[in-house]
Amino acid sequence: MKLAPEQLVEGLHDLPSPPAVVLDLLGTLENDDIDISVLAKKVSLDPALTAKTLRLANASAFGLQVKVTTIQQAITFLGFQTMRNLITAAAVTGCFPTGRCPGFNDRAFWRHASASAVCARALARRMRFNQDVAFTAGLLHDLGQLVLVCSHPDAYSAVLAWRRQHDCPLIEAERAVLGVDHVDAGVALANHWHFSDVMRQAIARHHAPDTPGAGMLAAIVHVADAIVHALDIAGAEDELVPPVSAVAWEAMGLNEEAYGYLFQETERQCEEMSAIMAA
């Protein structure tokens, strides 16, 4: 079953949209000109979003010494940039129904996404890049898979069968069966939900960070994605490590010892993070 680009867009209309406040945040990741008290009040009107955001804020990855119980408190302790990204993460993960595609492991997907977010954040810290933006990009980079799974479950089940039969990377199976891949679907979602340009570019180029203009964020997500696959954190059947760009890998500037610490940090923090994301 080949999918035309317009079919990707049509499928997006069947997905629940994030709350309006989150759609605003997705489009303005680089803009700090937002009233913090208004943001806290809007988020607090959604009890489920508030609860998930606060669980994330209290996760060990963010190193708070006190337990925060309100969005305003969390913003005070973690800062506005961190909280806007945690609010976004908490909201987006709730927009995709589970169990619709035979053979697709939703829990493994979120384990991989959560670990990629943790790893991207750790890489960004070492690169002196915005850690919060890297965390969000790591979490969202494969959302196109969920678009395809939710909109075309039977077709995606055929993708998974083709991948098992040919023992190939998932993106190759997607192109062979559907004529499009999860990057195309992710970019369609990013446009539909008005993601910021930097986030759109990271999603579009996370498998091709050598593309001119791809940017450092795409390189960070690319390397984080490869590391998490190599560590087999998702526990997925027939895990394959995607091809790694030597340019992106070397751009991280890390030695063997630094990568060792990075692997340990990713494995240590991903359990807690994935449990929150999958809740």
Measured between its terminal Cα atoms, the distance across the chain in Å is: 32
Mean pLDDT across 11-29: 74
| pLDDT at res. 82 | 86
Check if the beta carbon of residue 114 is closer than 8 Å to that of residue 240. Answer: no
* pTM exceeding the 0.85 threshold for the entire prediction: yes
| pLDDT at res. 29 | 54
| pLDDT at res. 239 | 72
Mean pLDDT across 96-122: 90
Tens digit of each residue's pLDDT (9 = 90 or more) over 145-191? 999 999 899 999 999 999 999 989 899 999 999 999 999 999 999 98
Q: Is the pLDDT of residue 28 over 70?
A: no
Check if the beta carbon of residue 187 is closer than 8 Å to that of residue 200. Answer: yes
Check if the beta carbon of residue 3 is closer than 8 Å to that of residue 176. Answer: no
d(CA 57, CA 165): 42
Mean pLDDT across 38-54: 85
Greatest distance between any 2 Cα atoms in the chain: 53
Q: Can you give the residue ranges of every domain in the chain?
A: 18-92, 99-279
Long-range contacts of 191-195 (CB under 8 A, 24+ apart): 192/9, 192/12, 193/17, 193/18, 193/23, 193/26, 194/23, 194/26, 194/27, 195/26, 195/27
Q: What CATH number labels 99-279?
A: 1.10.3210.10
Which of the pair, 71 or 274, is modelled with greater confidence? 71
d(CA 66, CA 81): 19
